[in-house]
């Protein structure tokens, strides 16, 4: 990219966020986005504060106008093996490394960052509390991660319709938990999460 890389205005900043740490079913997703300053996107915000239809519309613009984006997921089985925090860090790391353009700086929502010691990197890495509300690149990543994860949960709903995944997206709503008592666990439930661990023996899909 042409320009003086020593200028803050010319820095390539990648924003990173996740979707799916809290659910009791389904994978965790992470996205990394480098926005194009020449093609600003109006309306970026924390994905949780945007309607479903607006998220979908913004996701299209983000993919169309950004310099680079990537999305990576880690399955519920891996989450059960290594815990949700480590799975989230892996998803974020893979999303960053999958960008087709190398950023100068990476800003991650929250208070923790992946450990890149084993692979090495040339960019600075910073966490930002409530970054999805403050940093447009993180907002964009938040939206993509949420849209991709929702789409995935809609897909597995058609394989396992007993759990209403298309409505609850894997979160432990009362209806969802009640259905565990009737149907047991699907292969997508996180056995290491409560209340799934309670219903582990009643797994009709094994």
Q: Which residues contact 158 (CB under 8 A, 6 or more apart)?
A: none
Question: Is 194 within a domain?
Answer: no
192: which 2 tokens?
């290491």
Share of the chain above pLDDT 90, in %: 73
Q: What domain range is 25 assigned to?
A: 9-161
Question: Is 33 within a domain?
Answer: yes
Question: Is 85 within a domain?
Answer: yes
How much is the pTM? Answer: 0.89
The 10s digit of each residue's pLDDT in 152-173 is 999 999 999 999 999 999 999 9
Residue 181's nearest CA partner among 152, 204, 159, 158 is 204
What's the rounded Cα separation, in Å, for the pair 14 and 34? 5
Question: Is 45 within a domain?
Answer: yes
Residue in the block written with tokens 């659910």: 23
Domain count across the chain: 1
CATH of the domain at 91: 3.30.420.10
Question: Is 64 within a domain?
Answer: yes
Question: Is 67 within a domain?
Answer: yes
Reported confidence tier of residue 28, pLDDT bands at 50, 70, 90: very high
Question: Is 87 within a domain?
Answer: yes
pLDDT for 117? 56
Question: Is 20 within a domain?
Answer: yes
Residue in the block written with tokens 């913004």: 58
């Amino acid at each position: 990219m042409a320009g003086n890389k020593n200028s803050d205005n010319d820095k390539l900043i990648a924003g990173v966020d996740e979707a799916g740490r809290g659910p009791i079913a389904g994978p965790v997703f992470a996205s990394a986005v480098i926005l194009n300053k020449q093609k600003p996107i109006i309306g970026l915000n924390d994905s949780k504060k945007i309607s479903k239809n607006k998220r979908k519309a913004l996701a299209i613009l983000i993919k169309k106008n950004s310099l680079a984006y990537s999305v990576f997921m880690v399955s519920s089985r891996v989450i059960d093996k290594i815990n949700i925090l480590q799975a989230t860090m892996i998803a974020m790391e893979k999303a960053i490394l999958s960008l087709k353009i190398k950023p100068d700086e990476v800003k991650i929502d929250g208070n923790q960052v992946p450990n890149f010691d084993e692979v090495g990197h040339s960019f600075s890495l910073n966490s930002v509390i409530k970054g999805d509300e403050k940093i447009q690149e993180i907002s964009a990543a938040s939206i993509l991660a949420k849209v991709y994860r929702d789409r995935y949960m809609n897909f597995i709903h058609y394989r396992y319709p007993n759990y209403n995944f298309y409505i609850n997206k894997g979160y432990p709503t009362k209806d969802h938990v009640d259905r565990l008592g009737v149907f047991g666990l699907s292969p997508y439930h996180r056995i290491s999460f409560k209340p799934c661990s309670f219903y582990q023996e009643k797994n009709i899909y094994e």
